Structure 1
Amino acid sequence: MISDSPVPAVVPPGRMARNPQPVLGLPRGFELRPWRPDDADALLAAGQDPAIRRWNLLHVDSTEAARRRIERMHRRRQAEESAIWAIARTGGEAIGLIGWGDLDLRGGSAEIVYWVLPPARGNGVMVEAVRRLSQWALDDLGLHRLRLCHSVANPASCRVAVKAGYSLEGTMRSALLHADGWHDQHLHALVQGDI
């Protein structure tokens, strides 16, 4: 029998907005926490880093622009459009960013976005951050499918995806415009039951 009722939302509206953004612990003295106004300098530094600008299309050219961007992160989370965390030493400064863009609570999916500043690269913190935030999204928030997309010219992101347990599903041709032209992208995914 076919029901006249629409398919229910995977995650009910308001589940994220009515709760404070959690602080999520990571191994080795790191944490994921909400961005603060005093993190503006870290965001500005990221906006000046050539690798972050290349792969994340991040353009922040002043401390004031960074503060506005942090305010927008909080507004978008409250509107349940995205959810962005700072990667930081416990109680310390932001060294990176991770979160969910293209958040679709009704459909139960989101795309992970991330970057880390140069001094924190190569120590495995991003893999741990992706694992922890993915666990939160599936188990605590209740999403069903998580995507991780990156340029095929960015092997570091591919290693993060694989080490964090995301399966490679294929290549999306000419999927994202970067400063140097169109890039093919790898599509990785993690779904309920994978971890």
Structure 2
Amino acid sequence: MPYLVPPLIPPGRLASSAQPLLPVADGLLLRPWQHADAPAVVAAFADPAIQRWHVRRADSEDEARDWIGQWRDAWHNETAAHWAVVRPGAGEDTAADQVLGRISLRSMILGIGHAECAYWTVPAARGQGVAPRATGAVARWAFDAMGFERLELVHSVTNEASCRVALKSGFAPEGTRRHGHLHADGWHDMHVHARLRDDSFPG
């Protein structure tokens, strides 16, 4: 039974190309995760705030390397795209990069050009605009280079910091998803934000 509408983003468009490096203002860079980043992932998921909102912890570097492998595979499977937010070190050795956070496009539906933005930053990088800048860079790439139509951003109604990131990144609030996510302390209602390709970027 054929679809009557062609896919907005043809299958294979991501998998047939290398995941790009995306420059971010203030000298930051979004790059694919490397297995050498495992210690930084373990350290990040030891933070209580990241555990609270992402409902996970990393118990070992081996576990973190497994996650990184899954993040890298997701690009080739065209299900998600995950970048490390880094301040590059000297030279071309990525081991010298300072990992500040993670930005992802997950739950990709290429046929209709939809995906969900997700992110975290390490404690030392918070309050410096890292997450909004990274989110904006990924949104520009998704709309301009890949042809996505809609990006969503969803967070707990009690996560005020994430709400500020969404608004600064130009994701308009659209409503509340009741009991949208199960956290360690029970069900949380979730705020839903979204950006469309035709929306203007914040100045």
TM-score by length of 2: 0.92
2:111 is aligned with 1:106 = yes
Mapped to 2, the partners of 1:46 and 1:181 lie a distance apart of: 23
Mapped to 1, the partners of 2:182 and 2:136 lie a distance apart of: 27
1:107, CA displacement in angstroms?
A: 1.7
1:48, CA displacement in angstroms?
A: 1.1
Q: 2:48 aligns with which of 50, 53, 67?
A: 50
For 2:124, the equivalent position in structure 1 comes to 119
1:6, CA displacement in angstroms?
A: 2.1
Note the alpha carbon deviations across 1:67-103, whole angstroms, 9 max, x for none. 1110111111100011000000024132210011111
Mapped to 1, the partners of 2:12 and 2:112 lie a distance apart of: 14
Q: Which runs of 5+ in 1 are unaligned?
A: none
For 1:132, the equivalent position in structure 2 comes to 137
For 1:194, the equivalent position in structure 2 comes to 199
User: Counterpart of 1:15 in structure 2: which amino acid?
Assistant: R
Mapped to 2, the partners of 1:5 and 1:33 lie a distance apart of: 35
Mapped to 1, the partners of 2:86 and 2:109 lie a distance apart of: 27
Paired residue total: 192
For 1:143, the equivalent position in structure 2 comes to 148
| Counterpart secondary structure, 1:153 | coil
TM-score by length of 1: 0.96
Q: 2:23 aligns with which of 18, 22, 25?
A: 25
Q: 2:14 aligns with which of 4, 7, 16?
A: 16
Mapped to 2, the partners of 1:59 and 1:14 lie a distance apart of: 32
User: Counterpart of 2:65 in structure 1: which amino acid?
Assistant: R
Mapped to 1, the partners of 2:56 and 2:129 lie a distance apart of: 22
Note the alpha carbon deviations across 1:86-133, whole angstroms, 9 max, x for none. 000024132210011111111210001100000111100111001110
1:5, CA displacement in angstroms?
A: 5.1
RMSD over aligned CA atoms reads: 1.0
1:50, CA displacement in angstroms?
A: 0.7
| Counterpart secondary structure, 2:108 | strand
| Counterpart secondary structure, 1:28 | coil
Q: 2:183 aligns with which of 174, 178, 181?
A: 178
Q: 1:86 aligns with which of 84, 88, 102?
A: 84
Are the counterparts in 2 of residues 39 and 93 from structure 1 also a CA contact under 8 Å?
no
